[in-house]
């Protein structure tokens, strides 16, 4: 009995040590963001430490930081809504119909998931230039409105639902859009929740696409602004840390509220292959 | 109504499919084809005209010491992170799969770093690795040697520092995938093994490892595809320096193609990276499959 208890204490101790290794860098980030002063070497002087929200206040007074915040929110929300809608439509057709070229479409969905995306940054840049959408909201939104992962997820989920209700609705003369809106979407709520959380997180944290597809300061998203403002003369570390905390905040809140949905989404995304 | 008539493609379905078809053509297929095409030209963004140069870009790339250095660094990065990340992830998954109070809490905490924006993590570690920063203080505390100028400013430690951060960040993500695989192993197998008096190590070798193989294979391929494309860390933390000691293939593609606008040259480098990733993934699939068979 006592050895079992001891063993259990030992395990908890190990678990706590690992947890500290994982969390201490974020504690440092938070303390830094709330610090009134910061030493030049990047350490926090605890003897003169005073908690302050001043860094957050100045941050909102600076256009180079609050504009990216607004951009990030707008892009992530629009892309998420777009994915919920378009991936459902596409997944529905792929789950329910038989047609020539369906196999090809399914293969593209899986293949694009495997393609090393960073390989196409140059032609993607040229393409947005050619379409005339470079450095605009359209460049940040259009390429990502419908994602292969989302289509895959929705197709799998809809395939598992028996089509009986759709068939009877169709017999009563309902249009396809009505069927999707009234029958398919309500049944797909769990899958849509997973897709929403997943898409929001990915796009909120996305760096390389918004970085290469925009050039002006006012079009930057939060990760891009953070990366480019680092090492800048008139931005100090606590302000940068405050902006970082704001960037981490939605992810943390979503994670705290929907950790199960997030893990489900990640496992679904990983197991598709 | 027969099954066939409900499965027929309807007029509205073309509209439902079009968003993906358009996205696919405009933002995926065309760029891939364009990348192939461009790599055989001397196209520059500001140049008025371009011409075909055959394999000149590729030949020049292999004479370019910056590029060969970038290839070497990318391989070092992948080979130096992947085994550690995978081992730590398996160990953590097994640890969490056992009996442990507050299991879900610890699982979430270990997973948390991989949820955060890579840019933010890179910013935190840039400060931690700085001259006089916390990692140097820690090294001083345990008596380990460290570069005075800061870890990211020494050619000896910069790449290793980026790699260490990456292992720290990615472990929790792969842990979660391993955990899902572990939980699918039927408990009866372990009970039977225990009745037979099998040691913990034997149980691991005979039951756990064979069941983890498919996930292990998948994770090794996924992780190397990701590792070969390392960019954000380099961009935020070192800009490829000092003296190209952290320059990587995607960073090279970015610098040549989108900074100096040597589009053809950059595209050729991107295609080499594509080929490397394809070959490595194929080799890994073959190697691990042969071993399991």
pLDDT at B81 over 80: yes
Residue B245's φ and ψ, nearest 5 degrees, are -70, -15
Chain B contact present for A17, CB below 8 A: no
pLDDT-derived band at B2, boundaries 50, 70, 90: very low
For every residue of A82-93, DSSP letters joined together read HHHHHHHHHHHH
Per residue in B144-190, pLDDT (tens digit) is: 888 888 899 999 999 999 999 999 999 999 999 999 888 888 888 88
Q: Specify the CATH number for B56-292; select among 1.10.1060.10, 2.60.40.2470, 1.10.3720.10, 2.60.40.740.
A: 1.10.3720.10
Give every CB contact of residue B275 below 8 A, 6+ residues apart in sequence.
none
Mean pLDDT of the region A101-128: 86
Per-residue buried b or exposed e for A117-135, using 16+ beta carbons within 10 Å of the residue's own CB = bbbbbbbbbbbbeeeebbe
- What are the residue ranges spanned by the domains of chain B? 56-292
Per residue in A9-44, pLDDT (tens digit) is: 888 999 999 999 999 999 999 998 888 777 766 777
Beta carbons of B106 and A29 less than 8 Å apart? no
Identify the pLDDT of residue B203. Answer: 87
ipTM of the complex: 0.90
Tokens linked to A78: 């629009």
CB < 8 Å from A in window 205-264 of B? 218, 222, 225, 228-229, 231-232, 235-236, 250, 253-254, 257-258, 263
Give every CB contact of residue B272 below 8 A, 6+ residues apart in sequence.
B58, B61, B71, B249
Exposed / middle / buried, residue A192 (Cβ in 10 Å: 0-12, 13-18, 19+): buried
| Residue B58 CB neighbour total at 10 angstroms | 16
Tokens linked to B53: 């140069």
pLDDT-derived band at B266, boundaries 50, 70, 90: very high
**Closest chain A residue to the Cα of B250, Cα to Cα:** A118
Mean pLDDT of the region A91-111: 89
pLDDT at B228 over 50: yes
Mean pLDDT of the region B192-210: 87
Per residue in B24-73, pLDDT (tens digit) is: 999 989 998 999 999 999 888 766 688 888 899 999 999 999 999 999 99
Give every CB contact of residue A249 below 8 A, 6+ residues apart in sequence.
none
How far is B204 from B209, CA to CA, in rounded Å? 6
Identify the pLDDT of residue A273. Answer: 44
How far is B213 from B292, CA to CA, in rounded Å? 8
Beta carbons of B124 and A171 less than 8 Å apart? no
pLDDT at B99 over 80: yes
Give the number of residues written for chain B.
293
How far is B162 from B164, CA to CA, in rounded Å? 6
pLDDT at B248 over 60: yes
Chain B contact present for A236, CB below 8 A: no
- What are the residue ranges spanned by the domains of chain A? 62-271
**Closest chain A residue to the Cα of B11, Cα to Cα:** A176
Q: Which of B100, B127, B235 sits opposite A11 (nearest CB)?
A: B100
Residues of chain B found within 8 Å of residue A201, distances taken between Cβ atoms: 115
Give how far A22 is from chain B: nearest CA, Å: 6
**Taking CB atoms and an 8 Å cut-off, how many pairs form between chains A and B?**
257
CB < 8 Å from A in window 269-288 of B? 270-271, 273-274, 277
Per residue in A188-231, pLDDT (tens digit) is: 998 999 899 889 999 999 999 999 999 998 899 999 999 988 76
Chain B contact present for A81, CB below 8 A: no
Q: Which of B207, B217, B206 is nearest to B178 (CA)?
A: B217
- The residue that leads in pLDDT, A251 or B85, is B85
pLDDT at A234 over 80: no
Give how far A81 is from chain B: nearest CA, Å: 14
For domain A62-271, say whether CATH 3.40.190.10 is its number.
no
CB < 8 Å from A in window 42-81 of B? none
């Amino acid at each position: 009995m006592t050895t079992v208890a001891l063993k259990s204490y030992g395990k908890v101790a190990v678990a706590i040590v690992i947890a500290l290794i994982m969390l201490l860098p974020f504690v440092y980030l938070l303390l830094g963001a709330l610090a009134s002063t910061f030493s030049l070497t990047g350490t926090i002087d605890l003897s003169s430490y005073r908690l302050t929200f001043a860094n957050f206040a100045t941050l909102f007074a600076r256009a180079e930081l609050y504009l990216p915040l607004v951009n990030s929110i707008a892009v992530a929300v629009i892309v998420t809504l777009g994915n919920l809608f378009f991936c459902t439509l596409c997944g529905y057709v792929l789950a329910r119909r038989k047609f020539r070229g369906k196999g090809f479409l399914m293969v593209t969905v899986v293949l694009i998931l495997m393609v090393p995306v960073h390989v196409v940054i140059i032609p993607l840049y040229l393409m947005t230039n050619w379409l005339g959408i470079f450095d605009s909201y359209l460049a940040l939104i259009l390429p990502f409105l419908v994602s292969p992962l989302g289509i895959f997820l929705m197709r799998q989920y809809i395939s598992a639902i028996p089509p009986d209700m759709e068939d009877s609705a169709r017999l009563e003369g309902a249009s396809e859009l009505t069927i999707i809106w009234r029958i398919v979407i309500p049944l797909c709520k769990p899958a849509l929740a997973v897709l929403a959380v997943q898409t929001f997180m990915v796009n909120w944290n996305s760096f390389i696409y918004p970085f290469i597809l925009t050039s002006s300061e006012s079009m930057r998203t939060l990760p891009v602004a953070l990366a480019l403002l680092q090492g800048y003369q008139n931005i100090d570390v606590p302000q940068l840390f405050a902006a970082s905390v704001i960037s981490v905040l939605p992810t943390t809140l979503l994670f705290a509220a929907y950790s199960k949905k997030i893990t489900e989404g990640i496992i679904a995304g990983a197991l598709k292959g | 109504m027969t099954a066939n008539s409900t499965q027929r493609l309807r007029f509205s379905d073309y509209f439902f499919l079009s968003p993906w078809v358009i996205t696919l053509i405009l933002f995926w297929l065309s760029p891939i084809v364009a990348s192939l095409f461009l790599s055989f030209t001397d196209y520059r963004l500001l140049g008025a005209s371009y011409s075909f140069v055959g394999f000149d870009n590729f030949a020049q790339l292999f004479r370019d010491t910056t590029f060969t250095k970038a290839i070497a660094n990318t391989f070092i990065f992948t080979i130096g992170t992947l085994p550690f990340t995978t081992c730590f992830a398996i160990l953590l998954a097994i640890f969490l799969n056992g009996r442990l109070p507050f299991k879900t809490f610890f699982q979430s905490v270990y997973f948390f770093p991989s949820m955060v924006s890579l840019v933010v993590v890179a910013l935190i570690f840039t400060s931690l690795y700085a001259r006089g920063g916390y990692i140097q203080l820690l090294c001083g505390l345990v008596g380990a040697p460290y570069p005075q100028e800061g870890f990211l400013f020494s050619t000896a430690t910069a790449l290793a520092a980026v790699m260490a951060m990456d292992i720290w960040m990615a472990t929790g993500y792969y842990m979660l995938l391993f955990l899902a695989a572990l939980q699918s192993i039927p408990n009866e197998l372990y009970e039977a093994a225990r009745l037979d008096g099998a040691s913990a190590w034997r149980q691991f070798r005979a039951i756990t490892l064979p069941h983890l193989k498919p996930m292990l294979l998948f994770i090794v391929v996924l992780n190397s595809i990701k590792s070969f494309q390392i960019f954000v860390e380099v961009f935020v933390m070192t800009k490829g320096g000092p003296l190209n000691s952290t320059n990587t293939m995607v960073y090279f593609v970015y610098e040549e193609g989108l900074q100096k606008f040597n589009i053809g040259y950059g595209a050729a480098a991107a295609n080499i990276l594509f080929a490397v990733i394809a070959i490595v993934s194929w080799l890994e699939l073959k190697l691990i499959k042969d071993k399991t068979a």
